Amino acid sequence: MVFSPVTLGPRRFHSAGALVLEVYMAQPDDMLDDEDYPAYTMGRAAEIIGCTPDFLRRLGEAKLIDPFRSGGGHRRYSRYQIRLAARAREMCDQGTDMASACRIIILEDQLEEALRQNQSHQSSQNP
């Protein structure tokens, strides 16, 4: 996906174990606070996490994260993706293989989203 920083922004959700992205129109002011806005280069994301760029590439191959591409084809990461990658690094550092770590992280994220939706549904039922 080619990303235009002025008009497009990603939204995420999981579907059948894969991270799926939906594009929406964003205002420049919204991008500063949007955790899904791909603001970080691969080098900067790797520096933040304390890993190598190759580790981030392998997370992409494992389908945990799907980095956005700039107009020039460079990988760009959001804060949300960096958090997922940091969690994967933590699990791998503790001895979990990457495929298992990615599956666990996806399931944790799906559970968190389901709990959030359940709470929202219960709130709307009991005003």
More confident position, 6 or 122: 122
User: Could you tell me the domains of the chain?
Assistant: 8-125 (1.10.1660.10)
Q: What is the pLDDT of residues 40-67, one digit of tens each?
A: 999 999 999 999 999 999 999 999 999 9
Judge contact between 39 and 78, C-beta under 8 A: yes
Asked whether the CA dihedral 33, 14, 102, 56 is positive or negative, the reply is negative
Most confident of 5-14, 21-30, 106-115: 106-115
